[in-house]
Amino acid sequence: AGPAGGGPAGVQAQYARLVGTQFLPPLFALGYHQCRWNYKDEADVREVDGKFDEHDMPYDVLWLDIEHTVGKRYMTWDRHLFPDPEGLQRDLASRGRKMVTIIDPHLKADADYPVYNDAKHKGYFVQTPQGSNFEGHCWPGTSSWLDYLSPAVRDYWAARFLTTNYVGSTEHLYTWNDMNEPSVFNGPEVTMQKDLVHHGGVEHRDVHNLYGFYMTMATAAGHALLRPNRRPFILSRAFFAGSQRYAAVWTGDNMAKWEHLAAATPMLLQLSVAGIHFCGADVGGFFFNPDTELLVRWYQAAAYTPFFRGHAHIDTKRREPWLFGEPHTSRIRSALRARYAILPYLYTLFRDAHTKGQPILRPLWMEFPDDEATFGIDSAFMLGPALLVAPVTAAGAATASVYLPSAAPGGGGAPDA
């Protein structure tokens, strides 16, 4: 490439050669994902799954948050709530669907919890400066954190995904790595102290941003052990340069507010031009309860983003897409179907991201670099080279103004209502 890097596409390709390209996900991961904290038991999951069919709404993945475990011990199942997790996963798979469970890096300090106890005896936890296992608080209470900077720890973690170790799992189960900044509820800035010690004597201050990266690397290795020659699917909260080789990323705990719907587009554009191509925001907002207009507009916008998941906090009202009556149910159904209608195109864009390092979701200036009017636009985006998407992000909007760039080099454009 020349001095300017061969234009925006050339810069993206150069950066991808440096840090790696987007992993090519399995096709199901490009569909719609249904999640909340939490689907309470097996009957709840089966009812939600059946309602998608009853209401003729396509979806591909059902997610379980932390409450499905035994006291938030990851890689366990509360058998009172989920007596047959293998059967549940196989039933979903019989209809072409998958399941995702949440697995965080903090392990409950419990001698009767094998994942924790084995790691403790092997010396696999992040250490204090005095040489003891670091303990802090997260969802399970007192916990320790695996030191994923160690290759031995990553190998140990990968082996946990085998069905002989993760009892209740099947080949149809995929993974959500959350709280991996890492989040420590009673730590400074809700994370680890900077002088904690990692593999090789490295202090946490020097590798903080790499912690989540190495966790997803290890999880991806676990998926490869579980499903040789099959593609992984992992969602991660934390990320670093190169995390696109292992995991999708979402924008975190947003709110059911119009401002947060509007903020999703510039946030996802920033992630995309930084190489994190498989990205999305929680549909409807994680906190609080969206009104029907906001929820419909969010589905309509998110249907054109790379990662498409509905998610909600445990204290919110249920918001499965059929619960709001007409015309809202039909509008959400149309948004879901619009997503599935573009899957061949979207899959092609993922292939280009994987092989050429090109973003899936692009700022307008990337496709129209000679049109200076596009340089400041972050309320609309290009999905690949062919689709311009301008989400409606204001309550009660009956019209919208969309800037249509000129395809002619150096040309202008005109606003179109």
- Point out the residues that are catalytic: 178, 181, 253
Task: For residues 344 and 115, give the distance between their C-alpha atoms in angstroms, rounded to a whole number.
Answer: 40
Residue 228: C-alpha distances to residues 216, 224, 234, 387 (Å): 17, 5, 16, 35
DSSP state of 73: B
Q: Name the H helices within 204-362.
A: 211-226, 258-273, 292-302, 328-341, 343-356
Structure tokens at 376: 């400041």
The residues, ordered by sequence, that sit 6+ positions from 67 with a Cβ below 8 Å of its Cβ are 37, 38, 40, 78, 81, 314
The residues, ordered by sequence, that sit 6+ positions from 250 with a Cβ below 8 Å of its Cβ are 235, 237, 279, 280, 281, 282, 307, 309
Give residue 242's region: left, alpha or beta (phi > 0; psi -120 to 50): left
Helix axes 114-122, 151-159, angle to 10 degrees: 160
Task: For residues 86 and 308, give the distance between their C-alpha atoms in angstroms, rounded to a whole number.
Answer: 25
Give CA 185 to chain center in angstroms.
22
Q: Please, are residues 62 and 53 in contact by the beta-carbon 8 Å criterion?
A: no
Structure tokens at 381: 């985006």
Using the structure block, give the residue that is written with the tokens 């475990």.
69
CA angle 16, 17, 20 (to 5 degrees): 60
The residues, ordered by sequence, that sit 6+ positions from 167 with a Cβ below 8 Å of its Cβ are 76, 77
The residues, ordered by sequence, that sit 6+ positions from 143 with a Cβ below 8 Å of its Cβ are 106, 107, 108, 109, 135, 136, 137
**Phi–psi pair at 234, nearest 5 degrees:** -135, 140
